[in-house]
Amino acid sequence: MTDDKRRQYSSPVVDGIGKSASRAMLRAVGFTDEDFRKPQVGIASTWSNLTPCNMHINRLAEESAAGADEAGGKSLIFNTITVSDGIANGTEGMKYSLVSREVIADSIETAAGCEGFDGLVAIGGCDKNMPGCMMGLARLNRPSVFVYGGTIMPGKNHTDIISVFEAVGAHARGDLDLIEVKQIEETAIPGPGSCGGMYTANTMASAIEAMGMSLPGSSAQNAVSETKVEDCRAAGAAVLNLLEKGIRPSDIMTRKAFENAITVVIALGGSTNAVLHLLAMASTVGVELDLADFTEIGKRVPVLADLRPSGHYMMSELVAIGGIQPLMKMLLDRGLLHGDCLTVTGGTLAENLADVEPYPEGQDIIHAFEDPIKADSHLRILYGNLAPTGAVAKITGKEGTHFTGRARVFHSEEEAQARILDGTVVAGDVLVIRYEGPKGGPGMREMLSPTSAIMGKGLGSDVALITDGRFSGGSHGFVVGHITPEAADGGPIALVEDGDTVTIDAVANRIELDVSEAEMERRRQAWQAPVPRVTRGVLAKYARTVSSASKGAVTDLP
Helix (H, G, I), strand (E, B) or coil at 414: helix
Nearest 5 degrees, angle CA 34-CA 39-CA 42?
Answer: 115
pLDDT, one tens digit per residue, over 133-178 is 999 999 999 999 999 999 999 999 999 999 998 898 889 889 999 9
Position with higher pLDDT, 195 vs 396: 195
Is the domain defined by 38-153+191-353 classed in CATH 3.40.50.2300? Answer: yes
Which CATH number among 3.40.80.10, 3.30.70.890, 3.50.30.80, 3.40.640.10 corresponds to the domain 379-551? Answer: 3.50.30.80
Residue 1 in this model has a pLDDT that exceeds 60? no
Residue 507's pLDDT is what?
95
Residue 447's pLDDT is what?
93
Residue 2's pLDDT is what?
56
φ/ψ (deg, to 5) at 249: -50, -40
Cα 145 to Cα 239: distance, rounded to the nearest angstrom:
6
Rounded to the nearest 10 degrees, the angle between the axes of helix 413-421 and helix 448-456 is 10
**In which band, very low, low, confident or very high, does the pLDDT at 104 lie, cut at 50, 70 and 90?**
very high
pLDDT, one tens digit per residue, over 325-360 is 999 999 999 999 999 999 999 999 999 999 999 999
Residue 4's pLDDT is what?
87
Binding-site residues: 53, 85, 127-128, 446
Position with higher pLDDT, 302 vs 310: 302
Nearest 5 degrees, angle CA 547-CA 496-CA 400?
Answer: 85
**In which band, very low, low, confident or very high, does the pLDDT at 199 lie, cut at 50, 70 and 90?**
very high
Binding-site residues for [2Fe-2S] cluster: 53
Residue 172's pLDDT is what?
85
Q: Is 472 a catalytic residue?
A: yes
Within 8 A by CB and 6+ apart from 44, the residues are 78, 79, 80, 108, 111, 112, 120, 121, 122, 123, 133, 136
- Please state whether the predicted TM-score (pTM) of the whole model is above 0.95: yes
232-249 mean pLDDT: 98
Residue 352's pLDDT is what?
98
**In which band, very low, low, confident or very high, does the pLDDT at 3 lie, cut at 50, 70 and 90?**
low
Rounded to the nearest 10 degrees, the angle between the axes of helix 129-140 and helix 97-115 is 30
Residue 103 in this model has a pLDDT that exceeds 80? yes
- Domains of the chain, by residue range, sit at 1-37, 38-153+191-353, 154-190, 379-551
Residue 314 in this model has a pLDDT that exceeds 90? yes
Element (H, E) at 430: strand 429-433
193-221 mean pLDDT: 97
Residue in 472, 475, 548, 550 annotated catalytic:
472
Cis peptide before 131 (omega within 30 of 0): no
pLDDT averaged over every residue in the chain: 96
Estimate to the nearest angstrom the gap between the alpha carbon of 253 and the chain centroid: 16
Residue 234's pLDDT is what?
98
Cα 337 to Cα 332: distance, rounded to the nearest angstrom:
5
